[in-house]
A = this chain, B = another copy of it.
Amino acid sequence: MGEKIKVGVIGAGRIGKIHAGNIVKNFPDVEVKAIADIYADTIREWAKGLGIANVYADYKEIIADPEIKAVVICSSTDTHSQITIEAAEAGKHIFCEKPIDFDVRRIHAALDAVKKAGVKFQVGFNRRFDHNFKKVKELIQSGEIGDVQIVKVTSRDPAPPPIEYVKVSGGMFLDMTIHDFDMVRYLTGSEVTEVYANAGIMVDQAIGKAGDVDTALISLKFQNGAIGVIDNCRQAVYGYDQRVEVLGTKGGISVSNDVPTNVVVSTKQSVAADKPKYFFLERYMESFETEMREFFASIAAGKDTPVSGIDGLKPVLIGLAAQKSYKEGTLVRLEE
């Protein structure tokens, strides 16, 4: 075991705490040297419990620390691109939560800075590292089901977010479907060329008043000829619904939901199984650790990260196309 790589975590909200905790507990070769949050005082006790030495209110102290070789950016979305640029210029490797930005020019600016600095850059599309979806990808790559013809993603939240969040989230296509746009790119290994968003407001009229939709079917064409559909809903009362199906020329693959237990109860009323895991952190907990492990492995081995800057950019472009499709009631072609 050589010297530990020192890392700084920027932003200690829900996901920042998860990443910091995972690194401290499970990565003996990595040290969280510092964590920065604008509400630094509220996290001091928690950071101490994890043995994190430095808590800053200003992330720039992390950027300025030459010992820190990598940053994990978990601050609010509007700060991602700016922090990315500063960290890249300081020569630090970067793990950045998704999305990089909602503004395509700012994404390009961030990716340009990364490229110029030659640092590693990974976007937090954690679902690629989920045990189920990773296996689907492996099966497709192995040729088990031949050429992909149809990919279907079901992605529904158990309950809508607060209206205040809906107003600033960038809209369902950018805050929720963005994960699914990444998933279809990941699974097909091909780029989306055409989008048609069929959507409506069926869960809560307040969501419509806030300018968003709550239920959608997004029809997709891919460069390799495959076609796909994503269905989203802000509310699936039975729990967090995260499934994928792929049809290929030699077979099909399907993934059902993870459940808390495999217990089935048979009574006069029904044969009842567990509902899907309800909360995204519970459902995807393992993937947060795996993506981070891959990030540090990429640094250690000097190889490409598994989720590149382009992987961060493309889903935003597809999301913007979906927004346009819905608003104008037309198909939207993505430019090459």
A297: shortest Cβ distance to chain B, in Å? 18
Query: Which stretch (A161-169, A182-190, A198-206) binds chain B?
Result: A198-206
Q: How far is the CB of A223 from chain B (nearest CB, A)?
A: 12
Residues of B close to A219: CB separation below 8 A: 196, 198, 217, 219, 229
Instruction: Provide the residues of chain B in CB contact with A270, threshold 8 Å.
Output: 270, 272-273, 275
A263 and B135 contact, CB distance less than 8 A: yes
Which residues on the B side are within 8 Å of A145 (C-beta)?
265, 267
Interface residues of A, dominant DSSP: mixed
In whole angstroms, what is the CA distance A282 to B2 when docked? 29
- The answer to whether A263 touches B271, judged by C-beta atoms less than 8 angstroms apart, is no
A132 contacts chain B at the CB level, 8 A cutoff: yes
- Give complex CA distance A199, B231 in Å: 18
A275-B264 contact, Cβ under 8 Å, with A150-B215, A196-B198: no
Is A147 an interface residue when CB atoms closer than 8 A count as contact?
yes
Contact A264 B254, beta carbon cutoff 8 Å = yes
CB of A76 within 8 A of chain B? no
Q: Which of A35-43, A59-67, A112-120, A244-252 is found at the contact surface with chain B?
A: A244-252
Q: What mask results when residues 102 to 139 of chain A are scored 1 for a CB within 8 Å of chain B, else 0?
A: 00000000000000000000000000000110011001
Expressed in whole angstroms, the minimum distance between the Cβ of A50 and any Cβ of chain B is 8
A interface bracket (residues with beta carbon within 8 Å of B): 35 or more
The 8 A CB mask of A188-230 against B (1 = contact, 0 = none) is 0000001010111011000000000001110111000111110
The docked-state distance in angstroms from the alpha carbon of A142 to that of B229 is 29
- Does chain B have a CB within 8 A of A257? yes
A330 at the interface (CB under 8 A from B): yes
A78 proximal to B (CB < 8 A):
no
Q: List 27 A-B contacts (CB under 8 A).
A: A1-B49, A139-B265, A144-B265, A144-B267, A150-B217, A152-B152, A152-B231, A194-B198, A202-B249, A217-B228, A233-B247, A236-B247, A237-B250, A238-B252, A238-B266, A250-B267, A251-B265, A254-B264, A254-B266, A255-B261, A255-B264, A256-B262, A256-B264, A270-B270, A272-B272, A272-B273, A273-B273
Please measure, in the bound complex, the distance between the C-alpha atom of A61 and the C-alpha atom of B229, giving whole angstroms. 51
10 additional contacts, CB 8 Å, given A219-B229, A250-B267, A254-B264? A25-B26, A131-B260, A149-B202, A198-B227, A233-B247, A235-B249, A237-B267, A251-B265, A253-B265, A272-B272
Q: Flag if A271 contacts B238 (CB, 8 Å).
A: yes
In the assembly, what is the distance between CA of A145 and CA of B267, in Å? 7
Copies of this chain, complex-wide, total 4
A186 to chain B, nearest CB (A): 15
- Of B202, B249, B262, which contacts A225 at CB under 8 A? B202
> Cα distance A250–B236 when bound, in Å?
8
Residues of B within 8 A of A150 (CB): 215, 217, 231, 233
